[in-house]
Structure 1
Amino acid sequence: MIWGYIQDPVRQSGLLLDYSQSSFFLLLIYGYLYHTLKSRQYFPLLTFIVALAIFTSFSRTTNFLLAVFILSLIVFRVYTREHSIKGGTIIAIVFAFVFLHLLPVILGSDAVDRGGLQDFNTLNSRTQYWSLAWQAIMEKPLLGHGLGNFEYLGAKDSFPNQKIFFVHNDYLQIWMELGVIWFFLFIYSVGYLLIKHRQVIAIPLGVKGDLKRYIDWVMLCCCAAYMAINFIIGSLIFLLLIALIIARLTTYGEN
């Protein structure tokens, strides 16, 4: 992703098909390995490289969740007085952000312009997807329309020049494709995991906390939020990574 951006400063998707998915996958990997690697001397450099790759996708969703992740580490440090995050890590992320935006100027190329917070074109298209999905759900709320049929349930007519396979909301996608029973099972599973392990955030001031378990819980929260605006539930590589996070979090809960 970094090499591609150096060659041509446009949005990068790496090995995945979706720009946002690529950066979010990197964020999940970074979070999963954070506790293991944070004490290594090369960690600030690693953080710089990962942050730089994340920013090359210009995904506002992943950028926001990266900020949530960093803020959660700061909160953990305040409450436990443990060194959950160092200043060098934050500096590396800020420097990566600045470097990415200065590189087109250095190379004399046009920079990526997504319109900032004023441009909500991508959100507007998502609301159209959600509206079409909801109409389809109302037609067959119990059993759904089957896997992979969103394109033929109004999306093809509304977006004739595009191939729209995903609702950009995994919750609506599951209900639309599989019906209300699987929808509620999915909602229950996500809610159960988050509520069951919520005690990891109930850390009294000054009491030592389990940073690795805390980060796993934060990563699950990020996944739950991400699925409301994009799609990862149909990606095997994401499912495997989420399964690893859940397995580790559940194992800690049994100890």
Structure 2
Amino acid sequence: MVRMIIAAGTIGLLSIGIGWIILLLVDSLRIFGGSTFQTVFVFGFYTYCIAVLIVPSVHKLFYVLSIPVLSQFLHLFQKYDFPAGANSLWRLLPFLVADLYILSVLIRFKANLTRVEKSLTASWVAFNFLSVAISPNLAGIITGAFTLLLVTIPLYFLYLSIISRHPAFPVNLERSLCLTFIVLAIGTLGLVYFGAQYKGASNLLVTRNISDTNVTMAYFILLWPFAIGYAMRSAHSWLAAPLLILLFLLVVILSFSRGAVFIVLPYLLASIWAVSDWKHKLRFVTLVVVISAGFNNLIHLINSDLAYSWQLRFADFRTVGPDLQKIQEVSGRAEIRRLAYDLFLESPLFGHGTGSFELLGPGYREAHSMFFTILAEQGLIGILYLYGLFSALGYYLVKATAGPYRILPMALSVYLGFVHSVGYVFVIIPAKSLTINCIAPILLVCIYYYSKSIKNESVPTDG
């Protein structure tokens, strides 16, 4: 892990330096950021994506898997100062670079898919091509939809099918996604900290656009089994596991997301309990008690403005109906879903196509529910197809995992609960809004090949 951090950090710093030089030479590029630092960071990241995939490295798996996650984080960092929407080639550039690299791997190595996996890949491309083709929002999403749905996700599936043949794949995957989890968590906390100073209409923190917890929290759910698995099986688990738990707790608390508090926090508690022995459980309980006792002081210590954001997000729960209805009533999601259902009734079989809810609905990129978004955009066919995939994955996870690896089906269950109650985080390709999202499917593919690789063998301890 340390060697991977040093290698990635060195390339990252050199890339930021190159980005700074580019900005000095081409001053007009400042339009792609709100400040000089922001713009340098953006161009440094693009340089980093190219460098890590060109330079030979034993950490290539981390680089390939982290690029989509870091790209999502970059979009959040850029806020609204960068061209929005799925057609922006600047936003798609990191994915395109990763796609070119994966194509080079596929040229050198053959992906030996099973008959079922071949059928899945072909059906995915056909299903999404038809859904994109009928969309009334085609002009707004065609570049992003073609790149992410029809190229990037299938290529990652094929890439992981090749890489998973290596005996060290499970532990390499754990290490790579654990570091990805840490980077995403620290970056999210940084955005929260620096965004807490705003209290006006431009407060991206309070509206959750700065950390976009409907999106990032779903990634934390899917990354967590790998992060905690790597920490628990490392030689320094006594230190690594509590630090990761503390980091995840801070992300949940400072996300100011009602969904995170009521869904992800219980998941964190249950997952740690499931993978811990009595010593780890004792340390974990102690950590939770200490943080709970000093919660208010912790927020004021970090930044007094954070208390304002927390109160703003949760104060309205004191006056609104039964507990299970509070999130829906406070956020207005129930009305949004009624509109999605009305769209479904207009075209019940095929739906209106990918990205159609943004154009035909109330203006949101999705209906804050996987079920209602799919219902409106892809109809009954989409419901049967996508829920069939999730059912098959869930069945396979339960069958292929045992003992401490049971956290994988738990992660899938919590992820599905989150995307059905808080926000649809699977593949979102908006024409206008900030987020371009195709990370969750890649992480689900990671879970599939990880569980497949550990079915008949244990993961070696990392010293």
- TM-score w.r.t. structure 2 length? 0.45
Tell me the matched-pair count. 235
- Is 2:413 aligned against 1:221? yes
- Is 2:195 aligned against 1:3? no
The AA in structure 1 aligned to 2:328 is L
CA distance in 1, matches of 2:449, 2:279: 22
Question: Shift in Å at residue 86 of structure 1?
Answer: 2.4
CA distance in 1, matches of 2:368, 2:279: 33
Q: How does 1:91-110 map to 2 (within 5 A)?
A: 91-96=286-291, 101-106=296-301, 107-109=303-305, 110=307
Alignment CA distance shift 1:62-1:254 (3 Å): farther
Q: Which runs of 5+ in 2 are unaligned?
A: 1-187, 198-204, 428-436, 458-463
Q: Which moved more, 1:18-27 or 1:213-222?
A: 18-27
Task: Pick from 52, 55, 67 the counterpart of residue 250 of structure 2.
Answer: 52
Q: Which moved more, 1:102-111 or 1:53-62?
A: 102-111
The AA in structure 2 aligned to 1:34 is I
Q: Which runs of 5+ in 1 are unaligned?
A: 156-162, 202-208
CA distance in 2, matches of 1:23, 1:174: 20
Q: Where does residue 164 of structure 1 map in the other structure?
A: 364
CA distance in 1, matches of 2:396, 2:411: 15
Task: Pick from 247, 250, 255 the counterpart of residue 452 of structure 2.
Answer: 250
CA distance in 2, matches of 1:243, 1:94: 36
CA distance in 1, matches of 2:295, 2:438: 30
Q: Residues 221 and 415 of structure 2 are in contact (CA less than 8 Å); yes or no, is this contact kept in structure 1?
A: no
Question: Shift in Å at residue 228 of structure 1?
Answer: 0.8
Q: Which moved more, 1:217-226 or 1:61-70?
A: 61-70
Q: Residues 5 and 12 of structure 1 are in contact (CA less than 8 Å); yes or no, is this contact kept in structure 2?
A: no
Q: Which moved more, 1:220-229 or 1:244-253?
A: 244-253
Alignment CA distance shift 1:48-1:141 (3 Å): same
The AA in structure 2 aligned to 1:168 is H
Alignment CA distance shift 1:250-1:138 (3 Å): farther
1:42 alignment partner, SS class? helix
Flag the structure with higher helix content: 2
Q: Where does residue 43 of structure 1 map in the other structure?
A: 241
1:150-197 Cα shifts (integer Å, max 9, x gaps): 133341xxxxxxx41111111221222122112111112212222344
Q: Where does residue 355 of structure 2 map in the other structure?
A: 148
The root-mean-square deviation of aligned C-alpha atoms, in Å, is 3.1
Q: Residues 147 and 178 of structure 1 are in contact (CA less than 8 Å); yes or no, is this contact kept in structure 2?
A: yes
Q: Which moved more, 1:120-129 or 1:48-57?
A: 120-129
The AA in structure 1 aligned to 2:337 is W
Alignment CA distance shift 1:76-1:88 (3 Å): closer
CA distance in 2, matches of 1:92, 1:28: 23
Q: Residues 52 and 96 of structure 1 are in contact (CA less than 8 Å); yes or no, is this contact kept in structure 2?
A: no
1:168 alignment partner, SS class? coil
Task: Pick from 275, 282, 293 the counterpart of residue 87 of structure 1.
Answer: 282
1:21-58 Cα shifts (integer Å, max 9, x gaps): 22332243222221220224232123212321222112
Question: Shift in Å at residue 72 of structure 1?
Answer: 4.6
Task: Pick from 59, 62, 65 the counterpart of residue 264 of structure 2.
Answer: 65
- Is 2:340 aligned against 1:133? yes
Q: Where does residue 194 of structure 1 map in the other structure?
A: 394
Q: Residues 22 and 57 of structure 1 are in contact (CA less than 8 Å); yes or no, is this contact kept in structure 2?
A: no
Q: How does 1:3-42 map to 2 (within 5 A)?
A: 3-7=190-194, 8=196, 10-11=205-206, 18-38=212-232, 39-42=237-240
Percent of aligned positions with the same letter in both sequences?
18
